[in-house]
């Protein structure tokens, strides 16, 4: 499921004991429109246009809180900056080495991967997500244009 709607969000916050502030609501609503796994900075730059008083620190803290309560997912530290994912459905990631874009991929065969106990070293697996490393189509195009110059 994508992040639930505002009403559901408010209900969830109440049930897990986090206060619904105006700023949290703004950030939540903004996140619903995002599919690019934005960083805190990305979110800040966009939200600031509409809500100039919001601070980067508020955004950082809110994202950490949301992630702690599984309202969003923090994408594994792929680059140097934490990126956030509002897509809570099982999916996998295609990560561009050049532009750092993270593209969602829904591929049921990957969802079904099971690791045998022999290979988990006593680790209790809660979730898995496959990451493909490579170059996105746009960056490939740019590289082709460059090599033709
Ligand atoms: Zn790219
Ligand atoms: Zn994702």
pLDDT tens-digit series, residues 97-130: 889 899 999 999 999 998 888 899 999 998 899 9
Q: Please give the pLDDT value at position 1.
A: 41
Taking the CA of 99 as reference, the closest ligand is 1
- Ligand 1 centroid–CA 134 distance in Å is 8
* pLDDT surpasses 60 at 54: yes
- Ligand 2 centroid–CA 147 distance in Å is 31
Q: Which of 5, 115, 125, 140 is nearest to 71 (CA)?
A: 5
Please, are residues 123 and 86 in contact by the beta-carbon 8 Å criterion?
no
* pLDDT surpasses 80 at 3: no
Q: Which of 38, 29, 42, 32 is nearest to 2 (CA)?
A: 32
* pLDDT surpasses 60 at 27: yes
- Ligand 1 centroid–CA 89 distance in Å is 23
Q: Which positions ≥6 away from 72 have C-beta within 8 Å?
A: 3, 31, 63, 66, 84, 85, 86, 88
Alpha-carbon distance values, 79 to 3, 82, 139 (Å): 24, 7, 17
If you count them, how many residues does the chain have? 149
């Amino acid at each position: 499921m994508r992040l639930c709607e505002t009403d559901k969000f408010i209900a969830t916050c109440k049930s897990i004991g986090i206060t619904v502030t105006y700023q949290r609501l703004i950030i939540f609503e903004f996140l619903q429109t995002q599919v690019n796994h934005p960083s805190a900075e990305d979110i800040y730059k966009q939200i600031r246009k509409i809500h100039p008083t919001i601070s980067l620190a508020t955004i950082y803290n809110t994202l950490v809180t949301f992630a702690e309560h599984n309202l969003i997912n923090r994408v594994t530290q792929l680059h140097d900056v934490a990126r956030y994912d509002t897509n809570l459905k099982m999916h996998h990631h295609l990560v561009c080495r050049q532009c750092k874009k993270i593209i969602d991929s829904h591929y049921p065969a990957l969802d079904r991967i099971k690791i045998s106990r022999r290979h988990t070293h006593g680790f209790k697996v809660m979730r898995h997500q496959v990451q493909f490393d490579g170059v996105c189509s746009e960056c490939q195009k740019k590289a082709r244009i460059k090599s033709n110059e």
